[in-house]
Chain A
Amino acid sequence: MTKLRPRLSLFGIGAFALLLLGVAPLLLTDHWLGNLGKYCCWAMAAVGIGLAWGRGGMLVMGQGVFFALGAYSMAMHLTLETAGDGVPGFMVLYDPLAPLPAFWEPFRSAAFTLLAIVLLPVIVAGLLGYALFKRRVKGAYFAILTQALAVALATLISSTIRETGGDTGLSDFKYFFGFVLDDPANRKLVYLITAALLVVCLLVVRQLYRSRFGELLVATRDAEERVRFLGYDPANVKLVAFVGAALMASIGGAMFVPIVGIITPAEIGAAASILMIAGVAFGGRASLFGPALGAMAVGWGQSSLGSTWPDGWTYIIGALFIVVILFLPNGLSSVLARFTAARRSPGEQPAAATATLQLEEAKS
């Protein structure tokens, strides 16, 4: 977990992109391609969590909030696109004469929707992060507060049935910016956009990790006071990482809607936010590929095991948290790193093991 090897990481992203964009659409059925797209959405949120938590030390337990900002922006636009000039069907259900709520109106515009998906999380995370980091709220407080926000937002959406669809959520989208969503070719297109966005997220994060900002972020995670004494403001460094993470979660949420076809409060609440973290912890929080691959693995488990054997799946997720965090704080990627380090220089102390120790020391 020391420095990213520049060429290797770029090569890795290239191979990953080739797999997702080139190989997967050829080999997978439409059903599995849709599932893969769904995992890509969670992976985007996970890449953001890796940035904020793995590299920045901020345990973001409420990424569901930003996922929701993107998802509901997109879902409102698609709902309005499906409804045409009228009022969405579920609103008519409760009150045939109900006017469209004022905050829905701007989402008729495609440009506004795209802008909202990007700007809403930036604004919300910016304000929240600025307020919290400047007041030096960190560690567990930060984690609990973000989780509380996710709970609050999910509760709010559940209780406003007429405005947001409540627990049933928003669904039955027919069009995606003019494309008919039922058409398999268009669904493939949506998948390709999602996979490409995930690759872009990875590229951005790789560039950040290699930049001086990335070093400053890790320094802030490991020794915030020293960074402050060196003349930097740790709050700004953390703010950038937090906003970046929020943006990635929002984009993931936005693409989740056309791929899955429904968004409900259950997808964004406390449990969903924790599931996003599970993948990141599993894959390796501070590594480049760990969060994305871990999230995809957890996503795959969720949709296969989670539906065929739901009882066992919950135990597995619970055990995953305990075993991984207890024994492998840096996730599966540290196993890999240890393995390659051992092969390269037998007899020497594996690099990953010392990195783990450093991480532990820094947290105490």
Chain B
Amino acid sequence: MDALISPLLNGSAQGALLLLAALGLSLTFGQMGVINMAHGEFLMIGAFTAYLVQQVIGSSDLSIPVALPVAFVVAGLFGLLLEVSIIRWMYHRPLDTLLVTVGVGLILQQAALQIFPSQGVPVEKPGWLNGQVTVFGYDWPLRQVFTILLATVCVAALSVWLKSTAFGRRIRATVQNRDLAEVTGISTRTVDRLTFFVGSGLAGIAGVAASLIGGTNSQMGTQYIIPAFLVVAAGGIGQLKGTVVAAWAVGVVLSYFAYWTTGSLAQVLAFILVIVFLQLRPQGLFTVRTRSLV
């Protein structure tokens, strides 16, 4: 029983972390078509923000709840800066955006390496995350439950924001038909900036969650960026529910593979599985039917 349950629960938490990392991407990549390879570094910025907030506040019980909104704003501002300075010139060159943001990511990594100790910094877990809950005889660590809750809240907030607020409507209108949206009086530039701010901010939140689970160092972004992109692609572009399902599936599959084989082999297998899946369904899990040729 334990052999079945523990990878499932561990994997769900892993999937939730992946979902947090992919959520911002599904917004910037899925809605705006911008491939931001520096997204992993925004996640890293979030994690370091959690560390800095902890240095200021001291009590780890309090610092994590404070760090979440702070990391959202800090990473979001970095994203805004990137959009305003570079990405806005490149909307018509998606492939080149990818390479430019690779450069941005390299610079951010190196900056983090020089500002913070190279072996990384410790982010203390708050006391209220130390316990476990027992599920089917398996002691499930509370911080995994916390990650899942956090991901759920973020997904819910994002989908409400996109579906029910005036701003969400403007984003969707801009995505569907930029020119027409502009004609109806929507400032598409503002929409672009704010979408990018929110997308990058979500990476910051993911960073706080990641800092509670793994190490916080300058290289941490690189391990999330490719899986997160694969999750967005497998879920279907611009499809929030697809991203959720794909992230959970990848997390659980990865966890079972890791249970049966080794961690690194599991990663390889999961990569191959996603590639094979995209072979069968290049449009991803859920897709909007279009008449476009591609």
- Chain A interface (Cβ within 8 Å of chain B)? 57, 59, 131-132, 135-141, 143-145, 147-149, 151-153, 155-156, 158-159, 225, 270, 274, 277, 281, 311, 314-315, 317-322, 325-326, 329, 360, 363-364
Q: Which of A139, A158, A274, A329 contacts B264 (CB 8 A)?
A: A158
In the complex where A141-B233, A143-B95, A144-B230 touch, is A131 in contact with B279 (Cβ < 8 A)?
Answer: yes
CB atoms of A277 and B275 under 8 A apart: no
CB atoms of A326 and B86 under 8 A apart: yes
CB atoms of A322 and B271 under 8 A apart: no
CB atoms of B278 and A145 under 8 A apart: yes
**Taking the complex as formed, is B176 at the interface, i.e. its CB lies under 8 A from any CB of chain A?**
no
Query: How far in angstroms is the closest Cβ of chain B from A266?
Result: 13
Q: Which of A131, A225, A363 contacts B96 (CB 8 A)?
A: A363
Scoring B residues 100 to 117 as 1 if CB is less than 8 Å from chain A, else 0, what string do you get? 101111110110011000
CB atoms of A314 and B230 under 8 A apart: no
**Taking the complex as formed, is B226 at the interface, i.e. its CB lies under 8 A from any CB of chain A?**
yes
Which residues of chain A are near B103, meaning CB under 8 Å?
317-322, 325
Query: How far in angstroms is the closest Cβ of chain B from A303?
Result: 18
**Taking the complex as formed, is B189 at the interface, i.e. its CB lies under 8 A from any CB of chain A?**
no
Complex-state Cα separation, A144 to B25, whole angstroms: 13
CB atoms of A143 and B264 under 8 A apart: no
Q: Which of B96, B99, B271, B294 contacts A151 (CB 8 A)?
A: B271
26 contacts between A and B (CB under 8 A): A59-B95, A136-B282, A137-B278, A140-B35, A141-B233, A141-B278, A141-B282, A143-B98, A144-B229, A148-B230, A148-B275, A149-B271, A153-B268, A158-B264, A270-B226, A277-B99, A311-B114, A314-B110, A317-B106, A318-B103, A319-B103, A322-B103, A325-B100, A329-B96, A363-B96, A364-B93
In the complex, besides A155-B268, A225-B293, A318-B110, 7 extra interface pairs with C-beta distance below 8 angstroms are A59-B95, A145-B275, A151-B226, A151-B271, A322-B100, A322-B103, A364-B93
CB atoms of B106 and A314 under 8 A apart: yes
Query: How far in angstroms is the closest Cβ of chain B from A165?
Result: 15
Complex-state Cα separation, A1 to B275, whole angstroms: 35
CB atoms of A147 and B106 under 8 A apart: no
Q: Which of A59, A135, A148, A274 contacts B279 (CB 8 A)?
A: A135
CB atoms of A147 and B95 under 8 A apart: no
Complex-state Cα separation, A95 to B94, whole angstroms: 50
Query: How far in angstroms is the closest Cβ of chain B from A267?
Result: 16
Q: Which of A151, A153, A326 contacts B100 (CB 8 A)?
A: A326
CB atoms of A135 and B267 under 8 A apart: no
Complex-state Cα separation, A311 to B278, whole angstroms: 38
Which residues of chain B are near A138, meaning CB under 8 Å?
294
CB atoms of B92 and A364 under 8 A apart: yes
Which residues of chain B are near A317, meaning CB under 8 Å?
103, 106
Complex-state Cα separation, A303 to B233, whole angstroms: 37
Interface residues on B, range: 35 or more
Which residues of chain A are near B226, meaning CB under 8 Å?
144, 147-148, 151, 270
Which residues of chain B are near A147, meaning CB under 8 Å?
226
Which residues of chain A are near B99, meaning CB under 8 Å?
59, 277, 281, 321, 325
Complex-state Cα separation, A139 to B99, whole angstroms: 12
CB atoms of A156 and B264 under 8 A apart: yes
Which residue of chain B has its CB nearest to the CB of A150?
B226
**Taking the complex as formed, is B119 at the interface, i.e. its CB lies under 8 A from any CB of chain A?**
no
**Taking the complex as formed, is B81 at the interface, i.e. its CB lies under 8 A from any CB of chain A?**
no
CB atoms of B271 and A326 under 8 A apart: no
Query: How far in angstroms is the closest Cβ of chain A from B88?
Result: 11
In the complex where A141-B233, A364-B92 touch, is A321 in contact with B114 (Cβ < 8 A)?
Answer: no
Query: How far in angstroms is the closest Cβ of chain B from A269?
Result: 10
**Taking the complex as formed, is B265 at the interface, i.e. its CB lies under 8 A from any CB of chain A?**
yes
**Taking the complex as formed, is B272 at the interface, i.e. its CB lies under 8 A from any CB of chain A?**
yes
Complex-state Cα separation, A59 to B101, whole angstroms: 14
Complex-state Cα separation, A59 to B102, whole angstroms: 13
Which residues of chain A are near B263, meaning CB under 8 Å?
159
Query: How far in angstroms is the closest Cβ of chain A from B38?
Result: 10
Which residues of chain B are near A137, meaning CB under 8 Å?
278, 282
The 10 closest A-B pairs by CB, nearest first: A321-B103, A159-B264, A318-B106, A318-B107, A364-B92, A314-B110, A152-B271, A318-B103, A322-B103, A152-B268
CB atoms of A319 and B107 under 8 A apart: yes
Complex-state Cα separation, A140 to B107, whole angstroms: 22
Complex-state Cα separation, A71 to B93, whole angstroms: 34
**Taking the complex as formed, is B89 at the interface, i.e. its CB lies under 8 A from any CB of chain A?**
yes
Complex-state Cα separation, A281 to B93, whole angstroms: 14
Which residues of chain B are near A136, meaning CB under 8 Å?
282, 294
CB atoms of B110 and A152 under 8 A apart: no
Scoring B residues 73 to 103 as 1 if CB is less than 8 Å from chain A, else 0, what string do you get? 0000000000000100110111110111011
CB atoms of B92 and A363 under 8 A apart: yes
Query: How far in angstroms is the closest Cβ of chain B from A134?
Result: 10
Which residues of chain A are near B262, meaning CB under 8 Å?
159
CB atoms of A314 and B109 under 8 A apart: yes
Which residues of chain B are near A59, meaning CB under 8 Å?
95, 98-99
Complex-state Cα separation, A315 to B226, whole angstroms: 22
**Taking the complex as formed, is B188 at the interface, i.e. its CB lies under 8 A from any CB of chain A?**
no
Query: How far in angstroms is the closest Cβ of chain B from A327?
Result: 10
Query: How far in angstroms is the closest Cβ of chain A from B128?
Result: 35
Complex-state Cα separation, A143 to B229, whole angstroms: 11
Complex-state Cα separation, A143 to B97, whole angstroms: 12
